[in-house]
């Protein structure tokens, strides 16, 4: 029937053009409907999860807000000498308020986030004590900090700030080697991945920078073949090799780390920075990986959360296949664009030329 109709349309003058226009309209309608569903889901998601409103004990949001506040003090202590000596009163008061909330909920005072607060307050007190004036607000801050430090002593590991340290000699060729060695791999052996290697890679991942050091990343891990299969059914980029994946990681960002919608891109950016370091951490231990896009409509995203037991506030950024490469596995060259496509200098003197190329001229 379709074939007959098509034949008729093609026999009429202007028929093929009308058919093409109808198809284009249909495609546009479909794309627009998807766009509306995606943005509506994003807005609903922002309203629900991108805020620090807390009911009861919410460790994640409280720890995020505490880091956000005490990090203001910590970075203020690392500015050049011409910066103001006396700064940070509001951030310090907010830090006290959040530490009180921490205590009210009975959260562990030896936890890294609380210990970091103590280490930072100790350094901030030293700065305040070095100022020669009798400002009552400054003296009150010193007294309050002293009370916190007497209540729980900060562990030496949380002392801050630290001397800035240069990269070790000879590290650039090693980094170049590692970057060249990491290629998306789509052929794994069935050897299990040692969880200690995943932990080591995550330790490296966690050294990535993040907005106000809130470290929103979360990684959900699956090594059961049936579970992996169920998850990969929802993903469109693993055909031909999904069955070889021994470990599936789902890289997420916890949106509860962020205060409002103005931060809506931070989960993706911070999570991406974690991901890159995590990939290098895996590669450095002989593991291979392949990111698997999570470019899905909202309904499928919800299904991914359900199948993976992933809380809704953990925004899924990408799936990641991890494993030992199969013997003789090959990888695409995936040639890179020239640097001119990337670097856009707005400078009278600098250009795209690398130091090595400049030296060779
Ligand atoms: C966010 C993201 C999603 C990706 N999704 C897929 C995918 O679904 N399937 C796949 O085979 N490769 C996927 N890749 C891998 C890319 O194709 C690959 O990174 C790119 O071609 C560069 O190659 P390289 O990773 O080997 O350097 C993805 C990569 C990223 C960063």
Please name which of 61, 88, 62, 104 lies closest in space to residue 144, comparing C-alpha atoms.
88
**How far does residue 292's CA lie from ligand 1's centre (Å)?**
6
Over range 119-146, report the average pLDDT: 96
* pLDDT value, residue 220: 99
Rounded Cα gap, residues 220 and 128, in angstroms? 43
Q: Is residue 318 in contact with ligand 1, taking CB distance under 6 Å?
A: yes
Question: How confident is the prediction for the chain on average, in pLDDT?
Answer: 95
CB 95 within 8 A of CB 127: no
pLDDT in tens, 229-271: 999 999 999 999 999 999 999 999 999 999 999 999 999 999 9
* pLDDT value, residue 86: 87
pLDDT band of residue 355 (cuts 50, 70, 90) is: low
* pLDDT value, residue 5: 86
Over range 184-195, report the average pLDDT: 98
**How far does residue 268's CA lie from ligand 1's centre (Å)?**
16
**How far does residue 320's CA lie from ligand 1's centre (Å)?**
10
Q: Which two tokens stand for residue 215?
A: 């470290």
Query: For a pocket test of ligand 1, which of 277, 280, 293 has the largest count of ligand atoms closer than 8 A to its C-beta?
Result: 293
CB 352 within 8 A of CB 339: yes
Residue 186 CA: nearest ligand 1 atom is 11
Closest-CA residue, ligand 1 atom 22, reads 334
Residue 331 CA: nearest ligand 1 atom is 26
Phi and psi, residue 227, nearest 5°:
-65, -40
* pLDDT value, residue 354: 59
pLDDT in tens, 202-225: 999 999 999 999 999 999 999 999
Please name which of 87, 86, 88, 113 lies closest in space to residue 98, comparing C-alpha atoms.
113
Over range 41-68, report the average pLDDT: 96
Q: Which two tokens stand for residue 6?
A: 């098509």
**How far does residue 260's CA lie from ligand 1's centre (Å)?**
31
Q: Is residue 316 in contact with ligand 1, taking CB distance under 6 Å?
A: no
Over range 105-131, report the average pLDDT: 97
Q: Which CATH number fits domain 181-323: 3.40.50.2000, 3.40.50.620, 3.40.50.12780, 3.40.109.10?
A: 3.40.109.10
- What sign for the dihedral angle of Cα 290, 294, 300, 306? positive
Rounded Cα gap, residues 279 and 251, in angstroms? 11
**How far does residue 195's CA lie from ligand 1's centre (Å)?**
23
Q: Where are the alpha helices (DSSP H) in the chain?
A: 2-11, 15-49, 59-76, 89-104, 112-129, 136-151, 171-181, 195-205, 225-232, 266-283, 298-308, 355-360
Q: Is residue 275 in contact with ligand 1, taking CB distance under 6 Å?
A: no
* pLDDT value, residue 347: 92
Over range 9-20, report the average pLDDT: 90
Q: Is residue 291 in contact with ligand 1, taking CB distance under 6 Å?
A: yes
Rounded Cα gap, residues 314 and 191, in angstroms? 29
Residue 241 CA: nearest ligand 1 atom is 11
Q: Is residue 268 in contact with ligand 1, taking CB distance under 6 Å?
A: no
Q: Is residue 145 in contact with ligand 1, taking CB distance under 6 Å?
A: no
Please name which of 39, 34, 116 lies closest in space to residue 73, comparing C-alpha atoms.
116
Q: Is residue 283 in contact with ligand 1, taking CB distance under 6 Å?
A: no
pLDDT band of residue 358 (cuts 50, 70, 90) is: low
**How far does residue 81's CA lie from ligand 1's centre (Å)?**
45
Q: Is residue 292 in contact with ligand 1, taking CB distance under 6 Å?
A: yes
* pLDDT value, residue 356: 57
301-318 burial code (b ≥16 CB/10 A, e <16): bebbbeebebeebbbbbb
Closest-CA residue, ligand 1 atom 27, reads 183
Q: Is residue 19 in contact with ligand 1, taking CB distance under 6 Å?
A: no
Give the least confident one: 14-18, 27-31, 165-169, 185-189: 14-18
* pLDDT value, residue 140: 97
Q: Which two tokens stand for residue 13?
A: 């003058």
Q: Is residue 118 in contact with ligand 1, taking CB distance under 6 Å?
A: no
Whether pLDDT at 360 is above 80: no
Q: Is residue 293 in contact with ligand 1, taking CB distance under 6 Å?
A: yes
Rounded Cα gap, residues 167 and 335, in angstroms? 28
Closest-CA residue, ligand 1 atom 3, reads 293
CB 244 within 8 A of CB 232: no
* pLDDT value, residue 83: 85
Closest-CA residue, ligand 1 atom 28, reads 291
Please name which of 121, 31, 136 lies closest in space to residue 76, comparing C-alpha atoms.
121
* pLDDT value, residue 236: 98
Q: Is residue 183 in contact with ligand 1, taking CB distance under 6 Å?
A: yes
DSSP-based three-state secondary structure for 347: coil
């Amino acid at each position: 029937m379709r074939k007959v109709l098509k034949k008729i349309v093609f026999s009429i003058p202007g028929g093929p053009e009308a058919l093409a226009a109808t198809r284009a309209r249909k495609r546009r309608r479909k794309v627009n409907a998807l766009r509306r569903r995606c943005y509506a889901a994003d807005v609903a998601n922002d309203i629900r999860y991108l805020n620090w409103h807390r009911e009861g004990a919410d460790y994640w949001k409280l720890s995020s807000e505490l880091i956000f506040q005490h990090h203001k003090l910590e970075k203020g202590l690392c500015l050049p000498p011409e910066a103001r000596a006396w700064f940070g009163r509001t951030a310090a008061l907010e830090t006290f308020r959040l530490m009180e909330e921490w205590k009210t909920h009975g959260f562990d005072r030896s936890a890294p986030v609380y210990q970091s607060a103590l280490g930072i307050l100790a350094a901030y007190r030293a700065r305040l004590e070095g100022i020669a004036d009798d400002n009552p607000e400054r003296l009150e801050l010193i007294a309050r900090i002293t009370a916190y430090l007497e209540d729980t002593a900060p562990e030496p590991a949380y002392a801050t700030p630290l001397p800035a340290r240069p990269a070790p000699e000879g590290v650039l060729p090693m980094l170049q080697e590692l970057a060249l060695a990491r290629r998306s791999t789509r052929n794994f052996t069935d050897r299990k991945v040692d969880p200690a290697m995943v932990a080591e890679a995550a330790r490296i991942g966690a050294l990535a920078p993040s907005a106000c050091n809130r470290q929103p990343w979360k990684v959900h891990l699956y090594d059961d073949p049936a579970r992996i299969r169920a998850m990969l059914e929802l993903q469109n980029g693993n055909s031909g090799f999904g069955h070889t994946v021994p470990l599936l990681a789902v890289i997420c960002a916890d949106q509860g780390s962020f205060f409002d919608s103005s931060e809506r891109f931070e989960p993706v950016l911070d999570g991406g920075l974690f991901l890159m370091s995590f990939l290098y951490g895996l590669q450095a231990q002989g593991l291979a990986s392949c990111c698997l896009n999570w470019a899905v409509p909202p309904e499928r995203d919800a299904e991914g959360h359900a199948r993976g037991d992933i809380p809704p506030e953990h925004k899924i950024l990408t799936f990641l296949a991890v494993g030992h490469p199969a013997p003789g596995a090959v990888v695409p060259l995936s040639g890179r664009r020239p640097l001119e496509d990337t670097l856009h200098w707005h400078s009278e003197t600098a250009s795209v030329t690398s130091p090595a190329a400049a030296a060779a001229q």
